[in-house]
A and B are shown apart, each in its own frame.
Chain A
Amino acid sequence: MMTVGCCRLGLLVAWILANFVSPAIALGLEQHADDRSLAAYLPSDTVLYLEISQPEAVVQKLVQHPTVAQALELDAVKPNLRGPQYLAFRAGLSLIEASLGAEWPKLVADLGGEGIAIAALPGENRFVALLQARDEAKLKKAAEALLNLSAMDAKNNGRQTPWRIEEREAGKIAVFDEFAMARRGKILAVATRTEDAEYILKSSSNHHAAKNLAESPDFRSFYQELREDQGAPDSWLWINLASLRATGTAPALTRSVSDNAAAELIFGGLLASLGANDWALVKLFIHETSIRLEGVTRFDSEFAVGRREYWFGANGQGTVPTWIPLGLQSDGMAMQLATYRDLGQWWLSKESLYTDSVVAELVQADSQLSTVFGGLDFGGEVLGAFQPGVQILVSGQPSTIVDESNPSSNRGLHIPGFAIVGQLREPRQMTRRFKVAFQSVLGFVNLGLAQNGLPQYDVDTRTIENGCECISRIWIEDDADLESPVYSFSPSLVIKDGRFVLGSDAAWVKKLADLPKPTTTGSDTNSDAVADPSNDKGGASTAPTDSHLNTHLNLDWQVIVNLLRLNRDALVAQNMIENGNSRETAGREVDHLLQALELVDGVDVTIDTTPHHLRTRLELLLSRDLPPHGSEQRQP
């Protein structure tokens, strides 16, 4: 029994991992006991409920998933699979497999065959894991084997049996230090509190008499939909927002006004919707080439009237701008964000959105910025000069402003290019205003730089046909200064035909300003003009035509990884300092990280509204190319 001794912890972990924490699941409702969710055994105030309806299918999917195979081949992972900790884990797992007479995927299928669920109940440290087996006898045997193994292991280590059996009204419960385990029929429950395990015993015996989670009307209607839907998720998480708010653990959902100006701009609409609803649902889909999370909550377009109209647009029909086409991959675009935000309206609503202190800060900022804009009211007149919508672009191809003849300029940090794009309502009035404001700001910056003895900006502004061009470049007096790395930062503004492009790199800003206008009518709320990003991905859900794409964020992961690679020296430096590593070790760790990041190809996030739902979608696109050494099949 030496092995048991070594692997006491590994054993428990393995058993729990194999049964409860497998990260994904598929639905097989036609096989489900009585077409009822395991949620029927949980109280109605359950805060979070995660269900993996068909564990067997999910395990199969994971075992065969190419990305899992790739991940196991990573230089950072592979050596660990020969390390002592993994071996101990394997040994523990083998022991369980041996005593239950099946390999773990089979065990998962047998023991959790009819569903696995994890739930969080209100209150501190109240978690419940539930599983429903196909075969009662096997489950009974497994539970007994676990108790025996842990007792035996403790005995071998000179410890007392780590559990005791408590006879409760509803049945027997095995109580461990940290959790309790109970079984009735095909249901096995593990709970961090003994009372909760007992609750499951009760609710499974008197056939769901108690008020339970599955009975709430919202849950029922969603569950009905899910069963009828063909593209059912591998796993799903039901969030009982009403209960969550009651616990007080998510203050962001109960706050009526925000204390963070930026957070409100980014998440305000989402948080407000969650704050106003009783439930939200997150679905997980695992495909060979992508992993997708979809969050859904109720959306009432009336909600988008009033203070959050700046976020959703009138009647919730605000749609992303497409001044710069969304699919512009050619420019080495690392990130593209397009979102409907009416900044002018946002400013006007600030008193109803923010706490007094934030409003005070904004008002103060307003007066300072007004100075820059020659007395124009910043909120109303400057922000208000823009049509609704913002595009933010990050280029993965930083151009350096130091001349190419100097090789040392390649050292140091490479920061990506940034640009923000908007569309002016009244170009003729505002173009010169912005031009002068740009000159003022750069002049101010130059004073600061000069005070600190730093090189200053040479600002070049001119009026062009239908717009203006304001370009700045760092002016370097003395070649010796090139010894220090200079950031590729030459703030520039170009306005052309009302298109406003402010960015960190002159050439790129000009290029963006010169891109032809989109052929469609463009930047208003006509949803037809918007490419639906979900069309070609995953194939699971196609946005209905009455949906309005509110926000779209796209990351080209390969460009980002390349950018990180360019900055390898800086990453190595950071790693050396953070971990005290030698250069070699730090270099190796950074390379491992970069390699791991390459498993991902891109990230796509969208927020859209339909007349009844607010949907958030996050899709992780996985690399299709297997690394050269990862071709052979591997069973984990």
Chain B
Amino acid sequence: MNVAMSSMRDSPWYDRWDPSDAWSVWEPSAADRWDFMKVAHLHRRAGFAAPWDAVEQDANRSHTDVIGSLLSPARTEATQQTFEADKNTGQILATGGNSRQLAAWWLLRMVHAPEAALERLTLFWHGHFATSADKVAETNLMWRQYLSLRKLACGPFRDLVQEISRDPAMLIYLDARDSRKAKPNENFAREVLELFCLGTGNYTEQDIRELARAFTGGGIRHGKFFENKYQFDEGEKSFLNYRGPANREQAIDAIVDHAACAQFIVWKLVRQYVADDVPRDHPLIRHLAQTYRDSHMTTSVLLNKIWSSRLFFTDECRGARVQGPVEWCVGLLRTLRISFPMEGLAEELRLLGQLPLYPPSVKGWDGGLQWIDVRTAILRSNLAHRLVREGRMAEGSPVPSWARKDWGGVVRELAQLLCAQAIPEPILDSLTKLAEQTNEDDQRRLAILLGSMATLPEFQVC
């Protein structure tokens, strides 16, 4: 792919950037101010699209404060309390044993949670360490996996992999719950190398077989991980650069220390937070991977660097990603302050191809252009229409022009909040006309407007 691209007359946008320049800290200037558009972009990318007043408020704060507080560990007590209450609710639903309901709970949390960026990052890790409730029938285990991912989302990547290597839901999902000395299960070892840590091309089949021996003896008892030392293979193993009698923990350490690991994870995070199409071995990635290693692969440090970077706020980066179904819906509901039946939303998301807790395979969601085909393009428009038409709107105005019934204003303000790239003027005019000519009550008018906006390409990217 890369070869084909560089042979083109104009090279791809990422080749035109010097890495250290791209990731250097962005500073506002008279020509390039910290403004509404930048805040809206930051919210859409780091968390979910945010309502008008929240964006306005952040535009009046210092940009370092806003970016710094996104994943700040010193979250307020109020935020903690809200999460404790939500956690109690989630626990009740998890005990209820219906994972669809738990998925609905999570979606609801994304819509209402103050710490949107953390939920978004947890969703990313869930897609990375993909585990599906379709196979893991026990909702409680999916619930505990969610809590682990959320707890360790911002911290060192090593802790996350250590935890996931002992996570009952994951072990069930990969059939790795009773890997015995005599017959090591290679599935988990393969995915750790291929999908979780290194990526293809950085290991051999022999590495997989050796690594699988280090993971023997693991099992689940009473819904918890336990080690059966009689089934653990204590012999010498030799994989990647490691030689020794590694156990589970030591093996993970060795893999995380491998040079390819930081680069692989950075690449995935860049795809999630910057652009769909930067190649894995691009200098932009390699540069950032060094930063990641320097911070002991602490993800919050890396993300803060990305979100503070010059590249992040350029026009090239804006609109360079196709929005996944979850961020797309959640952003819509957050922005317009709409309540919508969450199990219904979960079903819609299944049709759109991204129902949390139900990734299609251990690869997670491919994302990018895969999100949108003809069918989902139609579904997205219908869902936007349905969310507004059947949802319950909070009192007050979603955008300032709403109260004045200035539809041209409403159209433009919504576009500012929801679209990363400017919708061409004639189309904005056409949308205004559409809203003005609709002979319905305001909510239905808005539904038709959103349903129509959702047919535009600008509405799908972020």
Q: Which A residues lie at the B interface, using CB under 8 A? A: 411-413, 452-455, 477-478, 481, 484-485, 569-570, 572-573, 576-583, 585
Contacts and interface: CB of A to CB of B under 8 A. Distances in A.
Nearest to A486: B95
A580 B348 CA distance: 14
Contacts of B221: 453
Contact of A485 (B86, B95, B108, B340): B95
A569 B92 contact: yes
B85 interface: yes
A579 B339 contact: yes
B88 interface: yes
B96 to A, nearest CB: 8
A598 B267 CA distance: 59
B92 A485 contact: yes
B93 A573 contact: yes
Nearest to A483: B91
Given A453-B221, A454-B222, A577-B101, A572 B89 contact: yes
Interface in B313-361: 333, 338-343, 345
A485 B88 CA distance: 10
Contacts of B391: 580
Nearest to A477: B222
Contact of A580 (B91, B220, B345): B345
B89 A583 contact: yes
A580 B342 contact: yes
A576 B345 CA distance: 13
B137 to A, nearest CB: 9
A577 B88 contact: no
A40 to B, nearest CB: 46
Interface in B46-64: none
> Which 3 A-B residue pairs are closest in the complex by CB-CB distance?
A573-B89, A580-B339, A580-B340
Nearest to A571: B92
B326 to A, nearest CB: 14
B104 interface: yes
B340 A412 contact: no
Contacts of B140: 484
A478 B341 contact: no
Contacts of B333: 580
Contacts of B104: 577
Q: DSSP class of B's interface residues: helix, strand, loop or mixed?
A: helix
A356 to B, nearest CB: 34
Given A453-B221, A454-B222, A484-B140, A577 B343 contact: yes
A573 B222 contact: no
B108 A576 contact: yes
B91 to A, nearest CB: 7
Which of A454, A579, A585 is packed against the most chain B CB atoms within 10 Å? Answer: A579
Contacts of A577: 93, 101, 104-105, 108, 341-343
Nearest to B102: A577
5 contacts: A411-B91, A412-B91, A453-B223, A478-B222, A580-B341
Contacts of B222: 453-455, 477-478, 481
A417 B89 CA distance: 23
A578 B341 CA distance: 5
Nearest to B107: A580
Contacts of A481: 222
Nearest to A478: B222
B405 interface: no
Contacts of B293: none
Given A573-B89, A576-B89, A580-B345, A412 B339 contact: no
A453 B108 contact: no
Contacts of A576: 89, 105, 108, 342
A415 to B, nearest CB: 12
Contact of B92 (A412, A453, A580): A412
Interface string B95-138: 10000010011001001100000000000000000000000001
B33 interface: no
Contacts of A580: 108, 111, 333, 338-342, 345, 391-392
Contacts of B91: 411-412, 484-485
Contacts of A412: 91-92, 95
A581 B108 CA distance: 8
A572 to B, nearest CB: 7
Contacts of B339: 579-582, 585
Given A413-B92, A481-B222, A484-B140, A579 B112 contact: no
Which of B88, B341, B343 is packed against the most chain A CB atoms within 10 Å? Answer: B88
Nearest to B333: A580
Given A413-B95, A485-B95, A579-B339, 7 more contacts: A453-B223, A484-B91, A577-B104, A577-B342, A577-B343, A580-B345, A583-B89
Contacts of A454: 222-223
A451 to B, nearest CB: 12
A455 B338 CA distance: 42
Contacts of A485: 91-92, 95
Contacts of B112: 582-583
A485 B345 CA distance: 28
Contacts of A413: 92, 95
Contacts of B108: 576-577, 580
Contacts of A453: 220-223
Nearest to A587: B85
A38 B333 CA distance: 55
A572 B88 CA distance: 11
A588 to B, nearest CB: 12
Contacts of B392: 579-580
Given A577-B108, A577-B342, A578-B342, A583 B86 contact: yes
A169 to B, nearest CB: 43
A412 B343 CA distance: 21
A455 B140 CA distance: 14
A481 B91 CA distance: 13
A455 B340 CA distance: 37
A578 B343 contact: yes
A582 B113 CA distance: 9
A569 B88 CA distance: 8
Contacts of A478: 222
A335 to B, nearest CB: 23
Contacts of A452: 138
Nearest to B392: A579
Contacts of A570: 92
B85 A583 contact: yes
A585 B342 CA distance: 15
A290 to B, nearest CB: 36
A539 B159 CA distance: 73
B143 to A, nearest CB: 9
A450 to B, nearest CB: 9
A455 B86 CA distance: 26
Contact of A569 (B89, B220, B340, B342): B89
Contacts of B342: 576-580
Contacts of B223: 453-454
A414 to B, nearest CB: 11
A60 to B, nearest CB: 38
A435 B227 CA distance: 39
B87 to A, nearest CB: 10
A576 B102 CA distance: 12
A175 B391 CA distance: 37
Which of B95, B340, B392 is packed against the most chain A CB atoms within 10 Å? Answer: B95
Contacts of A579: 339-342, 392
Contacts of A484: 91, 95, 140
A581 B393 CA distance: 11
A565 B232 CA distance: 50
A573 B138 CA distance: 19
Nearest to B337: A582
A487 to B, nearest CB: 9
A454 to B, nearest CB: 7
Nearest to A570: B92
A578 B95 CA distance: 17
A411 B88 contact: yes
A413 B97 CA distance: 13
